[in-house]
Amino acid sequence: MLWSLLSAEVANQNPVLLHGTTAAYFIAILLFILGIKMMSSPATARKGIHWAGLGMLLAVITAFVHIYFLGQSDPQLFLKLGLMVLMILIGTAIGWYSSLKVPMTDMPQMVALFNGMGGGAAAVIGYLDLLHGHGPVSLKVLAAAAVIIGATSFSGSIGAFLKLQRWISSRPITYPGQQLVNALLFLGSIVLGYLSIAGPTALNVNLFILLPLLLGILMTLPIGGADMPVVISLFNALTGLAVAFDGFALQNYTLIISGTIVGASGTLLTILMARAMNRSLFNILFGAFGKVQKGGEEEEKVMKEMSIDDAASILAFADKVIIVPGFGMAAAQAQHKVKELMEELEKRGVEVKFAIHPVAGRMPGHMNVLLAEADIPYDKLYDLEDINPEFETADVALIIGANDVVNPSAEWDEGSPIYGMPILQAYKAKNVFAVKRGRGRGFAGIDNPLFYLDKTYMLFGDAQKVVSDLVQALKKL
């Protein structure tokens, strides 16, 4: 329908409407670009979300005005518009409720779900265009590409959500011939896509959208939880690509440009995060990283525990403390207590800095978002390259719920699965305090020799309680 509305024939019938629509979409596109640009900095990210949201609102209103004026001869026009408004209100209510009720610890799951919805919407648009559209073959090819990519992104994002929510195992789930099955599903999608273009019927178009839905789920199963940040970013890029293809198929420039921007930014972020782990995207998708290995005997090791009072005493008389946040801090919602600890240390003249690893947490920028929520100044957050040289001069590296991103096996053990991955070099600090809920391994399932060093001391317990106890102990000194 939108394709026909934007065709040259309609443009000739109502040039004023066309020019007005084009101008409104152009402004919406500028707002999208401005919003995404501002989201690249923590200091302006909130404003960027507002500007991008304003652009989306303008695009939606413009689409409604366009459809209303060009569809007045349709006797079911108001029914269709009413259903569209109803769906928008339902979606808005779900989004608004989720933003208020979903805790920050579950934000990665929500991002995965919402991204999946975008991919699903793109797949449905392509599906309907194949089933009912009458455009040229070249545009139908783009619609078919949108179906494959969008449906894969939708079901893959659902799979990521299930793993992050721990409704299915976060460990890699593999079975014999897995890659062959995925390859056959992809080839089957291509064949059915060709059939849907050449002679669309309800049967082959329905089968066409089902295969990539299954492919997306099966692609996610062998990916371990530690790789979820990269996977979420990848599916975000795929969603943007699917939207751009829909835009070409429908000749809608807003979809083309916004989809391209999202696809490009998601692709760049995926590449950067893969580099941050020193692994290829192929290895992340097909390497089953984090799969539990059975057999063999491990040397018995001991983690040394330290009392809260002793840890507080050392922190109080330190010159520099570097705090390394991880998902354990997020799970305990301890970011506000961490800010209290920072303020209490700074009252005593202690220099406090935060070390942020690119893949810490469960989604890109997870730690930055949590610390920003606690109003911790942006200038205290340092990236891996900037903070690593300072660990040698730090009296204490305080690790709060981080594990894999500080694992020195990445530098010491050539046989480790994470060997070569850039890490935060907390092991170089004079003392290492690790706040950890238990004695288990990290999300990647790999043992961490940092926790057994002579200078490392464990503070076992829930991160929020441990940090709160540290603050109280500091106040008593």
Give me the tens of pLDDT residue by residue for the chain, a chain 477 residues long.
333 334 433 444 566 667 778 888 889 989 988 998 888 777 788 899 999 999 989 988 988 888 888 777 788 888 988 998 999 899 889 989 988 888 767 778 888 899 899 999 999 999 998 988 667 888 899 999 999 999 999 999 999 899 888 888 777 788 888 889 999 999 999 999 999 998 888 888 999 999 999 999 999 988 876 677 788 889 999 999 999 999 998 888 888 988 998 899 889 888 888 877 777 777 777 655 555 444 444 455 788 999 999 999 999 999 999 999 998 898 888 999 999 999 999 999 999 999 999 888 777 778 888 898 898 998 999 999 999 999 999 999 999 999 989 999 989 988 887 888 899 999 999 999 999 987 766 655 678 999 999 999 999 999 999 999 999 999 998
Residue 294: partners with Cβ closer than 8 Å, 6 or more residues away = none
Q: Which residue pairs from 112-115 have beta carbons closer than 8 angstroms and sit at least 24 positions apart in sequence?
A: 112/157, 112/158, 112/160, 112/161, 112/164, 112/228, 112/232, 112/235, 112/363, 113/157, 113/158, 113/161, 115/153, 115/157, 115/232, 115/235, 115/236, 115/239
Active-site residue, 404 included: yes
Q: Which residue pairs from 419-423 have beta carbons closer than 8 angstroms and sit at least 24 positions apart in sequence?
A: 420/278, 421/276, 421/277, 421/278, 421/279, 422/276, 422/277, 422/278, 422/384, 423/357, 423/384
Structure confidence at residue 158 (pLDDT): 94
Structure confidence at residue 10 (pLDDT): 44
Q: CATH 3.40.50.1220 residue ranges in the chain?
A: 308-476
Structure confidence at residue 9 (pLDDT): 39
Output DSSP code: residue 223: S
Contact (Cβ atoms closer than 8 angstroms) between residue 367 and residue 360: yes
Structure confidence at residue 308 (pLDDT): 96
Structure confidence at residue 395 (pLDDT): 97
Does the pTM surpass 0.95? The reply is no
If phi > 0 it is left, if psi is from -120 to 50 it is alpha, else beta; for residue 62 that is alpha
Q: Write down the CATH number for the domain with range 308-476.
A: 3.40.50.1220
The Cα–Cα gap between 311 and 458 comes to: 10
Contact (Cβ atoms closer than 8 angstroms) between residue 164 and residue 170: yes
Structure confidence at residue 255 (pLDDT): 87
Q: What are the strands, taking DSSP E only, across 29-173?
A: none
Structure confidence at residue 474 (pLDDT): 95
Structure confidence at residue 237 (pLDDT): 93
Structure confidence at residue 232 (pLDDT): 86
First-to-last C-alpha distance (Å) of the chain = 72
- Catalytic residue of the set 129, 227, 246, 404: 404
Residue type, 470: L
- 310-335 residue pLDDT tens: 999 999 999 999 999 998 898 888 99
